[in-house]
Amino acid sequence: MKESIKENLDEILSKLSTTEAKLIAVTKTHPLEKLQTLYDLGFKVFGENRVQELTEKYEKLPKDIEWHLIGTLQTNKTKYIAPFISMIHSVESFKLLKEINKRAKQNERVIECLLQMHIAEEDTKFGLDEKELYEILESEELKTFENIKLVGLMGMATFTENENQVRSEFKKLKSLFDKVKANFNTENITFRELSMGMSGDYPIAIEEGATLVRIGSAIFGSR
Ligand SMILES: *Cc1c(COP(=O)(O)O)cnc(C)c1O
């Protein structure tokens, strides 16, 4: 098990080494020992999608791990992760952003956030559309949030074999990212991260400008 995790990690890191993209190892559903294996190999950037699992793992593992939340966050659970979370990829509402700011302030921290966009053709309920994105970015109240930083966008492509479709969805997200980056630059909006690409589609995401890829099964095997 250890050997294959090492091989998989090395292979992915070597593919990324010639690009701008950084790896987030998606550790959801995997037991602590596998996370510890990655840690012992020197890799310490982990992504989880559920608050309870994330906080349990945080408590049991070394404190120099950089944790990313990549799944839906219910407003009332923000307080549990605010003391330690590095980045929240899945912000989908102004209300949530306001709560993250409040909890970050209580912890005397600044939490980096990505706005999750709906780019897939699939009719999921996840992610903002463009209009909702601009409503958040243009909000006057946002300017008063001193304990969050909006650093980019996140998106998930349609789950399909059709590479052209996946590519065109990533292209759309990248062009939106570039537009926001060029037009919004305030105290707490500084775009630099584009989180897109998972085990099945990360090579395409990198070609289309991803700066963060979220990879689970290609490291650990299928869940
Ligand atoms: C599970 C998950 C991933 C990783 O998926 P793999 O296919 O295992 O690489 C990436 N992003 C999100 C939001 C996820 O929930």
Q: Could you list the pLDDT tens digit for every one of the 223 residues in the chain?
A: 677 999 999 999 999 999 999 999 999 999 999 999 999 999 999 999 999 999 999 999 999 999 999 999 999 999 999 999 999 999 999 999 999 999 999 999 999 999 999 999 877 768 999 999 999 999 999 999 999 999 999 999 999 999 999 999 999 999 999 999 999 999 999 999 999 999 999 999 999 999 999 999 999 987 6
Does residue 50 have its Cβ closer than 6 Å to ligand 1?
A: no
The CA 144 to ligand 1 mean position distance, Å, reads 33
Does residue 199's CB lie within 6 angstroms of at least one atom of ligand 1? Answer: yes
User: Residue 146: which region, alpha, beta or left (left: phi > 0; alpha: psi -120 to 50)?
Assistant: alpha
Angle between helices 32-40 and 2-16 (to 10 degrees): 60
- CA nearest 12: which of 206, 195, 156? 206
Q: Which residues contact 112 (CB under 8 A, 6 or more apart)?
A: 86, 87, 88, 148, 149, 151, 193
Rounded CA gap, 83 and 91, in Å?
A: 17
Specify the residue for token string 């209580």.
106
Which of 83, 84, 212, 76 lies closest to 151 in space, CA to CA?
212
Q: Is 91 helix (H, G, I), strand (E, B) or coil?
A: strand
In CATH terms, the fold of domain 2-220 is: TIM Barrel (3.20.20)
CA 114 to ligand 1 centroid distance, Å: 16
- Residue 218: name the closest of 7, 31, 22 by CA: 7
How far apart are the CA of 26 and the centre of ligand 1, in A?
6
22 lines ligand 1 (CB under 6 A): no
Ligand 1 within 6 A of CB of 49? yes
